[in-house]
A and B are shown apart, each in its own frame.
Chain A
Amino acid sequence: MGNMKLSNLLSLFKVDKNLINKTMSIALEKGGDYCDLYFQNKTANYISLEDKSVNKAHTNIDFGVGIRVIKGDQTGYSFTEEISPKLMKSAAQTAANIANGTKKIPPFELKIHKVPDYYPIKTQWEHVNIEQKIPILKIINEKIFSLDKRVIKSNIMFMDESNYILIASSDGRISFDFQPMTTIAASCTAEQNGKKEQNSFSISGREDINFFTSSILERLAKETVSRTVKLFDAIKSKPGEMEIVMASGSSGILLHEAIGHGMEADFNRKKISIFSDKINKQVAEKIVSIVDDGIVLHMRGSINIDDENIDTEKTFLVKNGILKSYLHDRISSKHFKVKPTGNGRRQSFRYAPIPRMRNTYMLPGPHKKDEIIKSVKQGLYTESFSNGQVLIGAGDFTFYVKSGFLIENGKLTYPVKDINIIGNGPDVLSKVVMVADDLKMAEGAWTCGKDGQNVPVSMGLPTIKVSSITVGGLR
Chain B
Amino acid sequence: MNKKERVDLAKWSILYAKKIGSNEVSITISKTNKIEIEVRNKKIDKLVESTQNSLNLSLYVDNRFSSHYTNNLKKEHLKNFIEKAYLMTKHLNTDPYRSLPDPELYKNQKKIDIKINDGSYKSIEYKKKVKIARDIEKSAMNQNKKIISVTSSFYNSHEELVKVQSNGFSGEKESTIFSCSAEVTVKDADRGKPEDWSSANARFFKDLPDPELIGKSAADRALRKIGQCKIKTGIYDMVVENRVANKMIYALYLPIKAKSIQQKNSFLENKINKKIASEKLTIIDDPFVIKGLGSRLFDSEGISSKKRTIVDRGILKSIYVDDYYGKKLKMKPTTDSFSNIVLEKGTKSIEDMIKSIKKGMIITEFLGGNSNSLTGDFSFGIVGLYIEHGQVIKPVNEMNITGNLETLWKHLYDVGNDPYIYSSYMTPSLHFKEINFSGVN
Contact = CB atoms under 8 A, between A and B. Distances in A.
Interface of A: 45, 47, 50, 53-64, 73-82, 94, 97-98, 129-131, 134, 152-153, 155, 189, 191, 196-198, 236, 239-241, 257, 270-274, 276, 350, 352, 386-400, 417-424, 426, 470-475
B193 A134 contact: no
Interface in B41-98: 43-53, 64-72, 74, 81, 84-85, 88-89, 91-95, 98
Question: B40, B46, B379, B403 — which one has the most chain A CB atoms within 10 A of its CB?
Answer: B379
Interface string B209-230: 0000000000000000100101
Given A239-B233, A241-B441, A271-B149, A394 B225 contact: yes
Given A77-B46, A393-B194, A418 B375 contact: yes
Contacts of B249: none
Interface in B104-151: 148-149, 151
Interface string B165-196: 00000000000000000000100000111110
B372 interface: yes
B47 A81 contact: no
B436 interface: yes
Contacts of B194: 391, 393-394
Interface of B: 40, 43-53, 64-72, 74, 81, 84-85, 88-89, 91-95, 98, 148-149, 151, 185, 191-195, 225, 228, 230, 233, 235, 263-265, 367-375, 377-381, 383, 397-403, 436-441
Q: Please name the 9 residue pairs, one residue from A and one from B, whose CB atoms are nearest each other, closest first.
A: A239-B438, A398-B368, A472-B400, A389-B368, A393-B193, A420-B379, A472-B379, A398-B381, A57-B66
Contact of A240 (B71, B192, B378, B440): B440
Given A240-B233, A386-B370, A274 B193 contact: yes
A97 B47 contact: yes
18 contacts: A47-B92, A76-B46, A81-B53, A82-B72, A97-B47, A155-B263, A197-B374, A236-B402, A270-B185, A271-B149, A272-B148, A272-B149, A389-B368, A420-B370, A420-B400, A422-B367, A422-B400, A474-B403
Nearest to B34: A350
B69 A474 contact: no
Nearest to A138: B93
A376 to B, nearest CB: 16
A362 B185 CA distance: 29
Which of B43, B98, B230, B370 counts the most A-chain CB atoms under 10 A from its CB?
B370
A236 B70 CA distance: 46
A133 to B, nearest CB: 9
A213 B195 CA distance: 47
A75 B46 contact: yes
Nearest to B74: A82
Contacts of B228: 394
A270 B149 contact: yes
B42 to A, nearest CB: 12
Given A236-B377, A270-B149, A398-B400, 11 more contacts: A59-B69, A64-B71, A81-B72, A272-B193, A397-B367, A420-B368, A420-B380, A422-B381, A423-B398, A426-B192, A473-B436
A74 B45 CA distance: 4
Contact of A75 (B45, B367, B380, B441): B45
A352 B36 CA distance: 12
A75 B94 CA distance: 50
A76 B50 CA distance: 11
B68 A59 contact: yes
A271 B186 CA distance: 10
Contact of A54 (B52, B92, B397): B92
B365 to A, nearest CB: 8
B191 to A, nearest CB: 7
B402 A55 contact: no
Contacts of B225: 394
B402 A239 contact: yes
Nearest to B440: A241
Looking at A45, A64, A400, which has the most chain B CB atoms within 10 Å of its CB?
A: A400
A387 B368 contact: yes
A50 B263 CA distance: 8
A396 B377 contact: no
B400 A239 contact: yes
A130 B91 contact: yes
Contacts of A390: 367
A446 B89 CA distance: 29
Contacts of A273: 193
Contacts of A189: 263-265, 374
A421 B381 CA distance: 8
Given A55-B95, A391-B195, A78 B403 contact: no
A196 B69 contact: no
A50 B402 CA distance: 32
A470 B399 contact: yes
A148 to B, nearest CB: 15
B66 A58 contact: yes
Contacts of B65: 55-57
Q: Which of A131, A197, A236, A352 counts the most chain B CB atoms within 10 A?
A: A236
Contact of A63 (B72, B191, B263, B265): B72
A153 B374 CA distance: 13
Contacts of A257: 368
Contact of A394 (B74, B195, B233, B399): B195
A421 B438 CA distance: 10
A75 B66 contact: no
B376 to A, nearest CB: 10
Nearest to A190: B264
The interface centre, meaning the residue of B46, B85, B437, B440 with most chain A CB atoms within 10 A of its CB, is B46
A196 B95 CA distance: 26
A80 B73 CA distance: 13
A270 B40 contact: yes
Contact of B398 (A60, A134, A198, A424): A424
Nearest to B376: A418
B238 to A, nearest CB: 14
A59 B88 contact: yes
A134 B44 contact: no
Given A241-B440, A473-B436, A198 B191 contact: no
